[in-house]
Amino acid sequence: NAGVTQTPKFRILKIGQSMTLQCAQDMNHNYMYWYRQDPGMGLKLIYYSVGAGITDKGEVPNGYNVSRSTTEDFPLRLELAAPSQTSVYFCASSFGQGGQPQHFGDGTRLSIL
């Protein structure tokens, strides 16, 4: 099993550009998450989804959008990149409730210049 796959691994954007971070999981997990990790900090939740067609905001959603058209895929969209969005982005998935451990992708390092 591939687990959670994130692409790309690294990206440099100019201010104002847009891009989509891809996330796919092959474990048939219902719950999927996007976190960001700023230097010296823990991960903070951007958006999450509890199933196909259902998404909701986390702690830091401003400047991002998501969609969940299939169980497997959960892309994160940055519409107008800003320097404050320079971070490492992690996608994660889990079966759902009951303290199920989240499985993480390898992360995407994104720099906005």
Footprint of other proteins (CB under 8 A) = 31, 33, 35, 40-45, 48, 50, 56, 58, 88, 90, 92, 94, 96-104, 106-107, 109
The token pair at 65 is 């959008």
Nearer to other proteins, 20 or 95 (CB): 95
- Of residues 6 and 85, the one with the C-beta less far from other proteins: 6
Contact between 94 and 29 under an 8 Å Cβ cutoff? The reply is yes
Query: Pairing mode, if any, of strands 10-13 and 108-112?
Result: parallel
CB of 109 to other proteins, least distance (A): 8
Judged by CB, which is closer to other proteins: 1, or 40? 40
C-alpha distances (whole Å) from 97 to each of 7, 50, 61, 67 are 27, 10, 22, 21
